[in-house]
Amino acid sequence: MKILIAALVSLALLTPTALAADAEVLLGISTDFDKQELTLQVVTAGCTAKADFQLALKDGTLTVLRTKRDECKAMESAVSLTWSLKEIGLEANKPFKLGNALIANPMLARVR
């Protein structure tokens, strides 16, 4: 019985929901119509890269997901990462919503 319970708990921890990336707390967001770009300000401890994020657009809401944690040990600071609107699937003339929380203090952005 104990083995069955342990197996069920292990299976529950490996479900797609448990493996899903977390919505990133952002420091800022800006768009540039002329360049057709979107720039996000996120927290880094020294090892954050654009490839560490997935941008999901669903029903007009853009959600930024961090897929890889920044495991470096530097003091938290802001870094800007830029995507083309085309990469994200956004159209410059259509409004969109943001599915992420925003915070001004980079020292508190990674606190959960």
Domain boundaries, the chain: 21-98
Mapped onto helix, strand or coil, the DSSP state of residue 66 is strand
* Token output for 32: 């540039």
pLDDT at residue 16, rounded to an integer: 38
79 vs 76: CA distance, rounded Å: 10
Q: Which residue ranges of the chain lie beneath pLDDT 50? A: 1-19
pLDDT tens figures, 15-43: 333 335 789 999 999 999 999 999 999 99
pLDDT at residue 52, rounded to an integer: 97
pLDDT at residue 112, rounded to an integer: 66
* Token output for 28: 């800022």
- Cβ atoms of 90 and 96 within 8 Å: the answer is yes
pLDDT at residue 12, rounded to an integer: 38
pLDDT at residue 20, rounded to an integer: 52
pLDDT at residue 9, rounded to an integer: 37
